[in-house]
Structure 1
Amino acid sequence: MFMSIGPHQAYGNIPRSIEYAVGWVAECIEYCRDHDITSIEARDEAVQEWTDHVHALGKNLLSNKVDSWMSGVNRNVAGKDKRIVARYMGSSPDFRKRCNEVSKDHYKAFKLE
């Protein structure tokens, strides 16, 4: 069974990917500040939906079927023998679209308090 870790990031040019992620998180923090929200936590159903999406993207890819740091297996380290889906394998535009949908929906994928 594959396990997922997160948060996932679109694969590609690292500085450009990180720049988008930092901007998205900063906007989320600003939204929380502007709405007097002091706690944010991903909803269980949103976590499951995202995990299912990430797993579906990685299904049948050779990179997820071999032992490597990309699949979480390192035979030189005790306990690192369980395969995981460690990367988001979708495109950067699709990743950004999904993230933007969450923010446009006022972060309803999260419990906001």
Structure 2
Amino acid sequence: MRRAQGHAGALLLEPASTSTRLNFALSRPLLKAAGIRSVIVVSEPYHLWRAERLVRASGFDREFDVQYAAASTRCWRRWGMLFKGALREPLAVVNNAFHGYLH
């Protein structure tokens, strides 16, 4: 959620990750150091299913109160986002499941 959409809480960005799974791993110590206990995972609608499973599989939700929010669906009007949702995400689900990252 953006501040323009009415979110007034703290925003803490983790800039180094290259995957959703790595983002949760690298965010964990940053959030703990900042004393944050509640997290909103914001992502594209097509990605939230896998993000939620990665949160559970990593135990992230045992350390933080996690809520989920879908980003604006305007993204579906762009071919790049349609490609990611329709083609890339199913492959990422298979890859994550194959490596044991999803439960």
The TM-score, its normalising length taken from structure 2, stands at 0.28
Q: Which has the larger radius of gyration?
A: 1
Higher relative CO (CA 8 A, sep ≥ 6), structure 1 or 2? 1
TM-score by length of 1: 0.26
Q: Which has the higher helix share?
A: 2
